[in-house]
Chains A and B, each alone.
Chain A
């Protein structure tokens, strides 16, 4: 019989909600260390220029300036996924973010003042701001540190994938649709701007970093490589993190720069971005051009997909260049499709470089794919819900790419939103001719049990129970606002039968916690949860045997409830704290402590990118209703119906937060958010003109969790973090096209683009 869950599944508030809401949370911005200096970074004035000289002499003379560094003053390695990114730039500037010099001073104001005194001689050159232009023979080589692995000097990374017989499937297709989709630059816009405090002890040569990285152990390794020091001499402490969303997956130049300033001065140094700097110098969602050709047979079955993607890599290569890992999954494996041919390349330009962003390429892929599905349905004269249900993924399916769908809620998600949104009977007109209503469907596939992109996708946990019956979970995983601390504490409360207030989660210090790959790929609840459950199992073995000895019974099968161990057979009970004390203080004088490392069953993909890359897969569908004002082009999102295969709801309150937050990022991606650039410069580095939506723009969100109880997941749960954002823009675009009877091939769908499309349609009619 299944054990009844007491804590898991309950709407328990985030355990750190109190400190966050009351202002007591200590963010990186709040840290002040004795003798601390303030760092500031001088960035290039021109996105593409020869740097003839940098003169820091006047800056050094300014009272209060302690240290000024340029590339000439440091012995470091390049950083970045391809190690093509110098921390401080020498000889040339290749994008508007380029760091030329850095200052450490007694106050922030002096540091800023000193930047103005640094004289840089530039020889401005013509930049390359278009990826297609960068691929032309006449284009200059933009990044000087690449290995020349590819046929073109400006290709940073390439991905090729295929399954099935493409040509045969093309022949078999009744209809074929080809479209080019253009995706914008979107930025994370975290509430807390980027920050770091570095403290180097030049006596023992150890470096302490207060950093808001999402991946502390990879960061420790990257930092050590950059600074040419031993990784274990670096201790990373994460203060409360004010937003990640993928932006803190890469290590960025300001971080080793801050460490270098501390190493040079022997004093702690802090660097905090201004909001403008955050917009200019933090990573973005990859802009890309997707050429998609897809076919359908006479019955509506998908036959093939052929994809060519050009990603604007910017001047340096970040993790963002690897998003085709995820993009190809959606094209190869979302809905059943017989054949797929996928090509993607990241091309260097003098634009700002991209990074990782919630969804990791998937919102882009899903937009293109789900738009084309609507067009295929139109060609066939088939309804758009029907074609999706016909091709939906199923439990037990092994896709062309080798993903194993041991559980799969795809169809149920689609059916749920189709029914709940009254899809077939929605209103088509607004209150008068001016307003047009439309409804759009989209679904998504994403990894739901981590993603094996590093040698290990595992997570370690050390669990201890103290002599007072309190539990401490030392987990490798990180809290970046997503609620992992709360979910882990809930699991321990469930399993150990103790109250949440008796559970502490320690997760911020690389010197203390065991290894974990970091927060990405919607993996934390799944991987860290399984790791914790493994540690609990081990610890229970010890506790059970001691309890049986103390009760003088043979049976060591105990239930844990009300701070007690209760014998399954006799019903005899003993207090948990007593068992722990007896373990500690009498024979066998042992600690109530256990460690466990969980490695998901997922596999590395082979050279052809085939293989079961995640422990499980998440599915979702959204049905979105919009009203378009044909006078202004404004799109009002009325209702969003979302069904998501979450495996099992661990905490409905936190899950709801992920859903709503993700969807609003998706609505912004669909309608308003774009970092505008002209010739390598960002035109809207502020919230005034970067149109992030507000609470008053939030539509009604109707959420229906679908529970498929994955055997791999903790309590059957799957990862949930990225999914809510992924199909939103696609569904909104489909709804707008449905309302107006025209095509939108570009995001965001701004009022001006809508009005222009309507105007073009009118002109075509004439």
Chain B
């Protein structure tokens, strides 16, 4: 493995570095937990890695809160999500997705931005962010930013809307509704072992109810079940107005069937498509149990 490394220390330097690499084969290195494995598998001789780890910029590395949202810099690590009580309280799904990622050691370097930009159909934090209705903020070499919903960020396995002159700068997660009295928010990860596991199937849900238990908002996303992480929109909208605790068995199964309609899983060495569908149906039901 042999590649060139550019290690900018400011965001301006970062943008210059990206500009400089426009005619080169380059990749971003954030926590490098996926990148190193990929490079080992497919070594590229002419590669430049733009190392994001040395950039000093609060907007890139920290968590901020406004009246409408939490904003995570794309270099915010999984480990910092795990220990953040505010995120744990408001978005358990995000906390759980980070907590179930790889191992304690890897979580200290693995970043939110990396999890998104890898665009793996089985990305855990990415799946939670889709369920939370988060948005990606991208910065281009002219210093201009644009944003898209995380659900629209992915265009295929390992493919995103990120242009060659852009870097993922931050991710914003909308605050829960003001009327929300209770949240049912979980990340369900299915695999063989409890750590160092890549999801065989995953389901992220973030459901908000009012004081009476009536569902105000719902986000349900599925991972490792389609070429990209998918938001099960119809399944989400079918829940609005229903009382969470009064959902009948029939409604549960209809909901699970709707979630399943978003899945088009493959058979690979980790599981068959049959297994992925069976489990996805079962765990979709389990949200209400």
Contacts and interface: CB of A to CB of B under 8 A. Distances in A.
Interface of A: 432, 434, 631-634, 671-672, 676, 683-684, 687-689, 691, 693-697, 750-752, 755-756, 759
B40 to A, nearest CB: 9
Nearest to B282: A631
26 contacts: A434-B289, A632-B190, A632-B279, A632-B282, A633-B275, A671-B192, A672-B193, A676-B269, A683-B269, A684-B269, A688-B198, A691-B193, A693-B193, A694-B193, A694-B195, A695-B195, A696-B194, A697-B193, A751-B190, A751-B200, A751-B279, A752-B275, A755-B275, A755-B278, A755-B279, A756-B275
Interface of B: 37, 103, 190, 192-196, 198, 200, 269-272, 275, 278-279, 282-283, 285-286, 289
Contacts of A755: 275, 278-279
A631 B200 CA distance: 14
A66 B134 CA distance: 58
B270 A689 contact: yes
A694 B196 contact: yes
B271 A752 contact: yes
A689 B268 CA distance: 11
A640 B77 CA distance: 36
Given A691-B193, A695-B195, A696-B195, 11 more contacts: A434-B286, A631-B279, A631-B282, A631-B285, A631-B286, A632-B190, A688-B37, A697-B195, A752-B271, A752-B275, A756-B275
A697 B289 contact: no
Which residue, B193, B200, B272, has most C-beta atoms of chain A within 10 A?
B193
Nearest to A636: B194
A697 B195 CA distance: 8
Given A631-B282, A694-B103, A687 B196 contact: yes
A694 B106 CA distance: 14
Q: Is the interface of B mostly helix, strand, loop or mixed?
A: loop
A632 B283 contact: yes
A693 B195 CA distance: 8
Given A631-B279, A752-B272, A694 B194 contact: yes
Contacts of A694: 103, 193-196
- Of B37, B190, B196, B269, chain A has the most CB atoms within 10 Å of the CB of B196
Interface centre among A631, A691, A697, A756, by most chain B C-beta atoms within 10 angstroms, is A631
A756 B275 CA distance: 8
A684 B271 CA distance: 13
Contacts of B278: 755, 759
Contacts of B286: 434, 631
A671 B190 CA distance: 15
A386 B285 CA distance: 41
Which 10 pairs from chain A and chain B are nearest by CB? Answer: A631-B282, A696-B194, A752-B275, A696-B195, A691-B192, A672-B192, A694-B195, A683-B269, A697-B193, A697-B194
Contacts of A633: 275, 279
A721 B73 CA distance: 51
Contacts of B37: 688
A751 B192 contact: yes
Contacts of A684: 269
A606 to B, nearest CB: 45
Nearest to B190: A632
Nearest to A751: B192
Contacts of A632: 190, 279, 282-283
A633 B195 CA distance: 17
Contact of A631 (B198, B269, B283): B283
A687 B103 CA distance: 13
A683 B279 CA distance: 24
B195 A432 contact: no
Nearest to A689: B269
B267 to A, nearest CB: 10
Contacts of A691: 192-193
A298 B285 CA distance: 48
Contacts of A696: 193-195
A632 B269 CA distance: 17
A756 B274 CA distance: 9
A750 B198 contact: no
Contacts of A751: 190, 192, 200, 275, 279
A751 B200 CA distance: 11
B69 to A, nearest CB: 33
Nearest to B279: A632
A434 B288 CA distance: 13
A432 B289 contact: yes
A432 B289 CA distance: 9
A547 B178 CA distance: 91
Contacts of B272: 752
A687 B278 CA distance: 26
A185 to B, nearest CB: 14
B272 to A, nearest CB: 7
Nearest to A683: B269
Contacts of A693: 193
Nearest to A758: B278
B252 to A, nearest CB: 12
A276 to B, nearest CB: 9
Contacts of A695: 195
Contacts of A676: 269
B273 to A, nearest CB: 11
Nearest to A750: B192
B27 to A, nearest CB: 20
Nearest to B283: A631
B33 to A, nearest CB: 12
Nearest to A631: B282
B258 to A, nearest CB: 18
A745 to B, nearest CB: 19
B100 to A, nearest CB: 10
A671 B192 CA distance: 8
B278 to A, nearest CB: 6
Contacts of A688: 37, 198
A676 B272 CA distance: 14
Nearest to A694: B195
Nearest to B271: A752
Contacts of A750: 192
Interface centre among B198, B271, B272 (most CB of A within 10 A): B271
Contacts of B289: 432, 434
B3 to A, nearest CB: 14
Contacts of A671: 192
A407 B100 CA distance: 48
A750 B196 CA distance: 17
Contacts of B269: 676, 683-684, 689
A633 to B, nearest CB: 8
A280 to B, nearest CB: 15
A693 B275 CA distance: 21
Contacts of B283: 631-632
Nearest to A671: B192
A366 to B, nearest CB: 23
Contacts of B285: 631
Nearest to B104: A696
A631 B271 CA distance: 15
Residue among A683, A694, A759 with the highest chain B CB neighbour number at 10 A? A694
A631 B256 CA distance: 13
B284 to A, nearest CB: 10
Most buried by A among B37, B194, B195, B289: B194
Contacts of B190: 632, 634, 751
B120 to A, nearest CB: 12
Contacts of A634: 190, 192
A689 B122 CA distance: 14
A672 to B, nearest CB: 5
A756 B272 CA distance: 11
A696 to B, nearest CB: 4
B286 to A, nearest CB: 6
B240 to A, nearest CB: 25
Contacts of A687: 196
Nearest to A433: B289
A499 B196 CA distance: 43
A376 B270 CA distance: 35
